[in-house]
Amino acid sequence: MKKFLVTLLVLGFAAWLASLHPRVGLAFYDAVGAAEAKLYGFEKSFVRIDDMEMAIYERNAHNADETLILLHGYTASKELWLRFANQLNKRYHVIIPDLAGHGETGYFSGWSYRASAQADRIAQLMNTLNVEQATIIGNSMGGLIAANFAIMYPLKTHKIVVFNPAGVTPPEPTETEQMFSRGESLFEIDSTAEFFEFYDRTMAQPPFVPQFVLRGMAERYRERKANYAHIAQDFRFHDQLDNRLGLIRVPTLIIWGDQDRILSPSAAPLWHQGIRQSELTIFNGIGHMPMVEVPQQAAQRVTEFLEH
C-alpha cells in the first residue's frame, strides 16, 4: 500500500509538472544538463573571445595526452555531447563550447555565423586555453566548422571527426534539404506541433525526453526563430565544401547514420572520396545525431580512430 501511494504521488507530481508553463520544462532540461556535466567531471566556464563570452564545458585540463574539441550542430548546444564525452577515456582533455549564436554563449546580430568565423573563434579559444593542437569533432554544422578549421588551421589540427556533417551537396537530398532549397526551414519553429515534427526527424533512436521538457524546448525555438534564421543564412551559403574537400590533409573519420532525415547519407561517399586520409563508418538504424542516439557505440568508434 505504501509503495502504491508513493507511486501515485510521483505520478501526480509528474502530471502537475507536465501541466505547467513550458518554462518549467526548460528549467528542468537546463538543470539536468548541469547535473550531468558535474557528474561526468566537467567544469563550466566562460572564455572571452573578442566581444563575446563563450560558454564551455571542460574536463581534464591539466596533464592530458591529447585535446578534443566537440562542436554541436545548428540550433543545438554543448549539452548534447555530454553522454558521448562521458564514454571517452578520461586521459583526454575535452572542451565542449556553446558556439556563437547558441546556448549560453548567446546571440548578437552583429556577429558572423559563417563556418570560417566560427573556426576562427575555436582557434582563439585554443590560444586562450594554451592548447597548441587538437582533434576537432563536429556534428552537422559542427562538422562543417571542423572541416573548415582543418583547412584554415592545419598546424592546429591533429585529426577531425565529422558526424553527419553539413557542407557537401548530396546526390539524393532529404525532404528537409529540399525544403531548404525552397527557402523553407523545419528549424524555424512557430508552434509546438511544428517543433514535434522537427524533433521527430532529428533522430531515429532518440533518448527518452519527457513531454513537458519537449514543450519547453519548443518555446525556446519559437523565441529564437529570428536568430536561427540569421545563423542559417550565414553558415548555409558560405564556406561550403563541394570543391574544397581535397584541402583537408589531416586524418578524418566520417560517421553517418543511414536513417538521417536532415542531411542525406548519400553525401557520405563524397566526403570519403574527397578526403585522401579518410575513413567512413555508417551506423545502421541511426539518424542525424549518432553521438546522442548511440553514445557508447559512437565513442568506441571515435576512440579506435584516435588511437590508430
User: Domain-by-domain residue ranges, the chain?
Assistant: 18-307
Torsion of CA 92, 31, 223, 45, to 10 degrees: -40
CA distance 64 to 39: 19
CA distances from 196 to 103, 207, 214, 221 (A): 20, 15, 8, 11
Work out the number of other CB atoms within 10 angstroms of the CB of residue 3. 7
Counting as low any pLDDT under 70, the low residues of the chain are 1-21
Q: What pLDDT, on a 0 to 100 scale, did the predictor assign at position 11?
A: 46
123-162 as b/e, with b when 16 or more CB fall inside 10 Å? Answer: bebbeebebeebbbbbbbbbbbbbbbbbbbbeebbbbbbb
Contacts of 121 (CB under 8 A, 6+ apart): 49, 50, 52, 54, 99, 100
Q: How many CA atoms lie within 13 A of 49 on its CB side?
A: 26
Residue type, 131: V
* pLDDT tens string 85-129: 999 999 999 999 999 999 999 999 999 999 999 999 999 999 999
286 near 204, Cβ under 8 Å?
yes
Q: What pLDDT, on a 0 to 100 scale, did the predictor assign at position 231?
A: 97
CA distances from 271 to 140, 162, 247, 288 (A): 13, 10, 12, 16
pTM for the full predicted model: 0.92
CATH of 18-307, one of 3.40.50.1820, 1.20.1200.10, 1.10.3470.10, 3.30.310.50: 3.40.50.1820
